[in-house]
Amino acid sequence: MTDHAAVVARLRRRLAAGDLPGESAFGALSVPGRAGRTVAEARAGGAREGAVLVLIYPNPEAPHVVLTERLATLRDHAGQISLPGGRIEPGEGAQAAALREAAEEIGIPDGVEVLGPLSPLWIPPTNFLVFPIVSVAVARPTFRPSPDEVAALIETPLHVLAAPLARGTVVRTGLDGRPRRVPAFHIEGRAVWGATAMILAELLALLDERATPHPAVVDRPSPRH
């Protein structure tokens, strides 16, 4: 997983085939007791819809993914480690929203190539339905983090994420107010958990050469607008 061109080629093949592992990849990084919903169920429950950009780029040779540490003063997911993204506006698709929000948040340039979507993911605490969009760049972008949203950029090599030692747990307070241990990636002294960790787990599953591709997931509709 240290060759950028090989990573991009594998992602291109897997995403074009539509063989997304979805819940089977989410499981190991899912918060205990989490209830999943299909896109239709989430929409029927009035879920807000958003999109995030999973941007893969060489830095300088090995493929990296960029994450952000959100400001502690933000209304949603304050202080958490996230993928760049945000709300899908009326009349906007997931891909356009992910690119627009990432440009506003971290300043990605034009010329980023979109490879396709990962599995949609419903986030129960905020009732958000998130559509992750995978994209690639031929070189490391010159990032310009927004001071209104981003406390820090976290540029992470994919092989570091894939290492067994990157996985562990973190104590978080649940909706019931009780602390509990939840699965997480540990990167540069920071814990990546929840929806972001589950999205990254699916990305890594697509890149696992030992994994056998399987038929496309049925529930992969694009956002309606």
What CATH number does residue 165 fall under?
3.90.79.10
Q: Give the residue carrying structure tokens 């304050």.
A: 78
Domain annotation covers residue 224: no
Kindly give the residue spans of alpha helices, DSSP state H, lying in 18-76: 23-26, 39-44
Domain annotation covers residue 60: yes
Domain extent at residue 66? 4-207
Domains contained in the chain, number: 1
pLDDT per position as a tens digit, 83-127:
999 999 999 999 999 999 999 999 987 779 999 999 999 988 889
Alpha-carbon distance of 91 to 76, in angstroms, equals 23
pLDDT per position as a tens digit, 40-93:
999 999 999 999 999 999 998 799 999 999 885 555 655 689 999 999 999 999
Domain annotation covers residue 218: no
Residues 193, 8 contacting (CB under 8 angstroms): no
Domain annotation covers residue 220: no
Q: The whole model's pTM is what?
A: 0.89
